[in-house]
Chain A
């Protein structure tokens, strides 16, 4: 019986943490390139052991036009590779800009990687014909000059990734895989919205709230029974 109280207590704990995840999803409803976190659950591993896993939903977010040439949206499984002070990381947030050295950087100032390393367009910036174009495979052109091709990595549910700050992902184990050309399409002048569906989040929130309530009832009832057990010993 005491074990039952512990189990119900553990359930309350778990629901609280899952509520944190829903709260984070709803807070990031307007975040560019945000991928939904699925509340964690217990699963059986291949060896039959119980373990806890949390999944990220890599479903495509909507691409919204911004008409800014440095906004790149990805359709498919690709992700941009960026150089941070923690090493190379992946992101779906395509809000890029040019820094004072002429390098292509993300919104937080991390360098965007091309197939030949960092992408620097300072040599081409003084020319007259300065239209920037990015093809669907990520080839960057300034006027008619090809600068580099964006390095794209694979980001989907087939592997486990860890989140770092600012919409960045890094593989939980080992190195990331490069994406094949047919797996992604880059669209210039578009940004990927967050893939949160508010209805699903609200539904999950209701579910968690009710589960919490049920566990709460279980504890109360067990408590009442324990009280009765105590009374039995009264002389």
Chain B
């Protein structure tokens, strides 16, 4: 039975379903600080050579010696999801520990096991030891400690952190280091706004804020999610229609099979 078209259509429906899942995740994260949208990517499956005889040749079922081969594809497969690292809007929060990165840089975070992960989410907090941590609870690297006399924190555009003490003195306590990747699209998303380096992203390049390409640090602002609702809605419409078209394939093949079934009367 001609089930190839059915399987092909099923692969197309599965791919569009996955596409919708990715879009749903983007829309759900429309208010996530520093979120970068995902895009589902697809690739065609292998092609198979099928023998086709001219309409006027020998009886159906038998194959002609002068074979005509054509290639017929077997559908589609999801190949990867890609992160789009477009800059999100910078939103004012007036919180002195919020920083937004305007440029390509990432904050470097050291996890308790010693490994490094990276984030664009600059909503910093202070932990019980006085160290600066990110929203996910890990210390930023290099570590920055604030002492108990701290009244205020000033973070300059190039990442220098100064604290204002009770008496009004300003003391420099460190600098925010930024990390950049040759191919940020290759980073692995770990959830919690964290990313890990992979072979595809290339090695992290350390640098300071304000130097070329790394971007500037803006205090009192946070980077909003880069999901554009209109864009996602359009992607959703396209995916839904593509799903419908594949289901039309199923329906048409079903009709054809039913006709084949009715060929024999009585």
- In this complex, which of B2, B54, B73, B180 has the most chain A Cβ atoms within 10 angstroms of its Cβ? B73
**Is B71's CB under 8 angstroms from A52's CB?**
no
Contact bitstring B23-55, A, C-beta under 8 A = 1, else 0:
000000000000000011111111100101111
Contact bitstring B241-252, A, C-beta under 8 A = 1, else 0:
110011011001
Is the C-beta of B68 less than 8 angstroms from some C-beta in chain A?
yes
Neighbour of A19 across the interface among B184, B200, B252, CB < 8 A? B252
- The secondary structure that dominates the B interface is mixed
Neighbour of A32 across the interface among B8, B43, B246, CB < 8 A? B43
B53 contacts across to A, CB distance below 8 A: 10, 52
Is the C-beta of A84 less than 8 angstroms from some C-beta in chain B?
no
Contact bitstring B196-211, A, C-beta under 8 A = 1, else 0:
0001101101010000
The CA of A208 and the CA of B248, in the complex, are separated in Å by: 13
Given A13-B60, A16-B5, A132-B182, A31–B76 Cβ distance below 8 Å? yes
CB distance from B266 to the nearest CB of A (A): 9
Residues of B within 8 A of A (CB): 2, 4-6, 8-9, 11-12, 15-16, 19, 39-47, 50, 52-57, 59-60, 68, 70-76, 79-80, 82, 84-86, 180, 182-186, 199-200, 202-203, 205, 207, 212-213, 238-239, 241-242, 245-246, 248-249, 252-253, 255-256, 259-260, 262-263, 265
Given A7-B55, A26-B12, A128-B205, A220–B265 Cβ distance below 8 Å? yes
The CA of A1 and the CA of B213, in the complex, are separated in Å by: 78
Is the C-beta of A117 less than 8 angstroms from some C-beta in chain B?
no
Q: How many A-B contacts are there with CB distance less than 8 Å? A: 214
**Is A97's CB under 8 angstroms from B185's CB?**
yes
Neighbour of B203 across the interface among A6, A126, A213, CB < 8 A? A126
How many residues of A are in contact with the other chain, CB < 8 A? Answer: 73
**Is B41's CB under 8 angstroms from A107's CB?**
yes
A-B contact pairs, 14 of them (CB 8 A): A10-B53, A14-B52, A22-B249, A26-B245, A26-B248, A27-B12, A28-B44, A30-B42, A30-B242, A108-B79, A131-B213, A201-B245, A208-B252, A212-B256
- Smallest CB gap from A3: residue in B: B59
**Is B248's CB under 8 angstroms from A202's CB?**
yes
- Smallest CB gap from A99: residue in B: B199
The CA of A18 and the CA of B31, in the complex, are separated in Å by: 47
**Is B241's CB under 8 angstroms from A198's CB?**
yes
The CA of A17 and the CA of B256, in the complex, are separated in Å by: 12
- The secondary structure that dominates the A interface is mixed
**Is A27's CB under 8 angstroms from B246's CB?**
yes
Given A6-B60, A130-B180, A27–B8 Cβ distance below 8 Å? yes
**Is A163's CB under 8 angstroms from B47's CB?**
yes
**Is A97's CB under 8 angstroms from B186's CB?**
yes
**Is B263's CB under 8 angstroms from A220's CB?**
yes
List A residues 148-170 near B (Cβ within 8 Å).
162-167
The CA of A209 and the CA of B212, in the complex, are separated in Å by: 60
List A residues 6-49 near B (Cβ within 8 Å).
6-7, 9-17, 19-24, 26-32, 34, 37, 40, 42
**Is B43's CB under 8 angstroms from A166's CB?**
yes
The CA of A99 and the CA of B230, in the complex, are separated in Å by: 34
B12 contacts across to A, CB distance below 8 A: 23, 26-29
The CA of A9 and the CA of B2, in the complex, are separated in Å by: 14
**Is A125's CB under 8 angstroms from B9's CB?**
no
Neighbour of B9 across the interface among A26, A99, A100, CB < 8 A? A26
Neighbour of A97 across the interface among B183, B213, B241, CB < 8 A? B183
Is the C-beta of A223 less than 8 angstroms from some C-beta in chain B?
yes
Is the C-beta of A145 less than 8 angstroms from some C-beta in chain B?
no
Is the C-beta of A205 less than 8 angstroms from some C-beta in chain B?
yes
CB distance from A171 to the nearest CB of B (A): 14
